[in-house]
Homo-oligomer: A and B are copies of this chain.
Amino acid sequence: MLAENARLPLVQVCPIFRGLTPAQSAEVATLAGERHVRRRATFFTEGQPATAFFILATGRVKIAQVSQDGDEVILRLIGPGQMFGGFGALIGGPYPATAQALEPSRALVWEAGEVEALMQRLPVVARNLVRELAGRLRELEVRYRELATERVAQRLAHTLLRLGERSGRNVAGGLLLDVRLSREELAQLTGTTLFTVSRLLSEWELRGLLEARRSRLVLRDLAGLRALAEALPPPN
């Protein structure tokens, strides 16, 4: 159980609640419930009625959709401080995706209705939400374009670089990604198969671009990876 006084700083840090007075933040914090979930368990599942709005406190969550024939696609990775489950809850209708914990995770939860009410009462919250959603949309548009126009190697390089930016930690040999993703999950994030990911990582490790242990990925040569990501496929 997260002590109530531990919730407040989280609320204050979260982009959605930025710009509130301390009193307002405190109020928002008291409205929050919490939810604790172990590795591989889910906060919610695609298709369930969307009733809650989450902000991740600790851990790491993946938001994924499953296609008819069982292929999984990862739409987004959530880190501490980020909201999720928002769309479904705000639009009404079912959750459009599943939120599964990659590590033991803890989140603050609000009822959908409460968030609606907050939006009405505090215009800043509404504005922040609009910004957040617009940002998400833009991000997905970029990935959509990549998926439509780039080859796998380029896309994987982009994926790794983004992971590095968002959740990289500088270590001796380079930038350590502290997200524990399997080859398969990297594939689902990039729009390819685990086999192709494995091959590319092996090759890049040989070339000294990165270090790929089973669940530890260190980017050694960011410039090299960027070159791969930008590269026009055949420079005819």
Interface residues, chain A, with chain B CB atoms under 8 Å away = 65, 67-69, 71, 73, 75, 86-87, 90-91, 96-97, 116, 119-120, 123, 126-127, 129-131, 133-138, 140-145, 147-150, 191, 230, 232-233
Contact = CB atoms under 8 A, between A and B. Distances in A.
A130 B92 CA distance: 12
Given A69-B149, A91-B134, A91-B138, 20 more contacts: A65-B145, A71-B149, A86-B134, A87-B134, A87-B137, A87-B138, A90-B134, A97-B141, A119-B127, A119-B130, A123-B123, A126-B127, A129-B130, A133-B133, A133-B137, A136-B137, A140-B141, A147-B148, A147-B191, A148-B191
| Interface of chain A: mostly helix, strand, loop or mixed | helix
Contacts of A145: 65, 67, 73, 75
Contacts of A73: 144-145, 148-149
B68 A230 contact: yes
B140 A144 contact: yes
B130 A90 contact: yes
A68 B227 CA distance: 13
Copies of this protein, total: 2
Contact of A131 (B68, B75, B91, B134): B91
Nearest to A231: B68
Contacts of A143: 144
A126 B69 CA distance: 38
A170 to B, nearest CB: 27
Contacts of A142: 96
Nearest to A146: B67
A69 B148 contact: no
Contact of A126 (B123, B134, B147, B148): B123
Contacts of A96: 138, 141-142
A120 B123 contact: yes
A71 B69 CA distance: 30
A86 B73 CA distance: 27
